[in-house]
Each structure stands twice: as structure tokens, then as C-alpha cells.
Amino acid sequence: MKILGIESSCDETAAAVYDNNGLQSNIIASQAVHEQYGGVVPELASRAHHKTIWRTVRQALDEADIQLDAIDAVAVTQGPGLMGSLLVGLCFTKGLCLSRNIPLVGVNHMDAHIYANFIDNQPEYPFISLTVSGGHTQLVHVKAPFEHALLGQTRDDAAGEAFDKIGKILGLPYPAGPVIDERSQHGDTQFHDFPQAMLDNDFEFSFSGLKTSVMYYLQDQKDEEEFLSEHLNDICASVSYAITEVLIKKLRNAIEHTGVKTIVLAGGVSANSMLRKKARDLAAEEDCELYIPKLAYCTDNAAMIAITGYMMAQRKMFAGMNLKPFANLNAINK
């Protein structure tokens, strides 16, 4: 079976090919246009997808050395994401499938982050997934393939969103998450005790208060610019510590609640070095198997869409041409 995966949920236009022998290609076209705005501009994102999607798909097919007629199904991100961006990918994919009579698979972007762990590994079911991205933070009990129970999620900002918003306060370039991660490796995690919210709730998250705390903390300094110049690495380390501590404490709660002995990290924030180290330490303490995707499969990519589509196609989970996009998780209609 040969699956073409297409991803366009936000600001990455991506295409990949996955078959019985594994991942054959994984192409990502990033959109630099958003950097000057300090965040993704939805209208600009959808326009950029429209310009690059066919070229990206063509490159993925060429790299995999496969013709479109040999593709058995096309998997596309159905949501969640930016509606305009999703529509570009979904409409393109429907046209492709109709023109060549190829089956269509609609993929939940958050599911795909979880199943990115299967590109290079085979985690045993059941397992707990800590899925942490720019738009979502979740604890998911994966009992079997595509049989999920949501244990908890963020009530406001996602962890990745908190990193980016705090980075903007600190004057860092967008996306700020990787920059904060790099700087935190040279700072003192105990420099300042930023708040860790909702620790009294086992599985729910909240990060909006942390962003506000950082803003007020900087405003309290006599010379904010000089203070940042001297202690930026320390602040980044303290922020990273606060966010990752909450994530790991909640993950520990989930392990103890379910008794599951396999855990996976998923989503863009799973690339964070501090989170990875703490997850490894937690797995050792709890005697759990831990799986973390390669860095290339953490952020938005089509490899995760392709393998999820492959797993769904194996189970005959195909979609019709009436497949609709959904912008948020509450609108999921399976």
C-alpha cells in the first residue's frame, strides 16, 4: 500500500509518501512571511498554501520515485487548524482523488501527532500520549488504534502558545519556542519561581497566567531592557522549567491513574530539550517505556499524516467527497 499524505493545517505546506517499507519522502515548505508579524496571519497562510501545494506534492512524489497513478490513497489533514489553510489542502486533495479515482482519507491532525511515534517505532497499546503543540495541550489515553480517551487538556493557552507569547514579551523572534529552548540551556532554571497553574487538578492545564506573570515581573524591574540583556537566558530557563514541570507532573498523574506502562510525547513542544529530559527521567522512575518522535516529526509535517492515513486505510477508514474541515477539536465529526 502506498499513501500520499498532505498537511496544510497552519503555516507549513507539506507532503509525504509512506508505504509498506516505511517513509519514502517528507517535504515541508515553510512560510517565512509570518515572521515580520510575530505570528501566523491566516489569510497570508492560505495564499501561501495555494501557491506551493502542487509543487510540494510533486517534490514528495519525485523523491519517493513514484507516480501519482501508483498511489493507493491520499490522506489529508481535516482539522483542527486554520479554516482557510485546511480548505486549500482539502480542496486540492479532493480534486486529486477525483481526477485519478483515488480513495480519500481524512486525518485528525492531533491523532497524527500521536501516530508520528509509529514512523520509526511500534509503541505497545495501551499508552498515554502527552500531546503538546502550539494550539493544543492534551493527555490522551490511547487504548487501541484510533480508540482514544481524552483525560484532560488546556483550558486556555496551549504550552506552545505560551512559549511563543512569552517570547514576544521577551522580544524574541517568532516562533519563539525553539529560541527559548536554546537559551534555557545556558540559564538558571531556579532564577525566578514562575507559577505552575492548576496543580490541584489531575489532568487539566492552564498557561495564560504564566504569560501574565512574566509580563508583570519584567515591568517590576527598574530598567527592563538592561535586566533582559543580563538575564534573558535565566528567564528563558525559568519559564521552560515552569511549563515542563506542569507537563511532567500531569503526565505522572496519568500514568498512576491508568496504570499504563508506555508513554509517548507528541506535537511540536515534544522537541523541547528540557521536556525530553524530564520525560526520560520520569519513564525511568515509573519503569515505563518512552517514545519520542525524531525532531523532524515533532512539528507539523506530512509524514505523520501519511502514516496515520496508512493505518486508517489498513482499517478501511476512508472518507467520501463530502468530507468537511473542522477548525477546532469540538467540531470533530467522525
Cell numbers for 68, please give them.
501519482
Q: Is 131 annotated as a binding residue?
A: yes
Segment 199-223 mean pLDDT: 96
Q: Which helix (H) or strand (E) holds 135?
A: none
Q: Is 152 annotated as a binding residue?
A: no
Q: How confident is the model at residue 45 (pLDDT cuts 50, 70, 90)?
A: confident
The answer to whether the CB of 151 falls within 8 A of the CB of 139 is yes
Q: Is 193 annotated as a binding residue?
A: no
Q: Is 209 annotated as a binding residue?
A: no
Mean pLDDT of all residues in the chain? 95
Phi, psi of 225 (to 5 degrees): -65, -45
The answer to whether the CB of 10 falls within 8 A of the CB of 85 is yes
Q: Which helix (H) or strand (E) holds 300?
A: none
pLDDT over threshold 80, residue 34: no
Q: How confident is the model at residue 43 (pLDDT cuts 50, 70, 90)?
A: confident
Q: Is 19 annotated as a binding residue?
A: no
Q: Where are the domains of the chain?
A: 2-114+297-331, 123-292
The answer to whether the CB of 85 falls within 8 A of the CB of 16 is no
The answer to whether the CB of 300 falls within 8 A of the CB of 6 is no
**pLDDT for the residue numbered 332:** 43
pLDDT over threshold 70, residue 116: yes
CA 287 to each of CA 152, 274, 294: distance values in angstroms, whole numbers, following the listed order: 23, 20, 22
Strands of the sheet with 127-132, listed across from one edge: 147-153, 137-144, 127-132, 262-266, 289-291
Mind listing the pLDDT tens digit for each residue in 82-111? Answer: 999 999 999 999 999 999 999 999 999 999
Cell numbers for 97, please give them.
482523488
What percent of the chain shows pLDDT beyond 70? 97
Q: Is 177 annotated as a binding residue?
A: yes
State how far the Cα of 200 lies from the Cα of 191, in Å rounded to an integer: 24
The CATH class given to the 123-292 domain equals alpha beta
pLDDT over threshold 70, residue 333: no
For 217-230, the three-class secondary structure string (H helix, E strand, C coil) is HHHCCCCHHHHHHH
Q: Is 113 annotated as a binding residue?
A: yes
Q: Is 135 annotated as a binding residue?
A: yes
Q: Is 179 annotated as a binding residue?
A: no
Q: Is 167 annotated as a binding residue?
A: no
State how far the Cα of 188 lies from the Cα of 241, in Å rounded to an integer: 9
Q: Which of 86, 60, 75 is nearest to 8 (CA)?
A: 86
Segment 293-305 mean pLDDT: 96
State how far the Cα of 296 lies from the Cα of 233, in Å rounded to an integer: 25
Q: Please, which residues have CB within 8 angstroms of residue 314's CB and are 6 or more apart in sequence? A: 1
**2-114+297-331: CATH number:** 3.30.420.40
Q: Is 148 annotated as a binding residue?
A: no
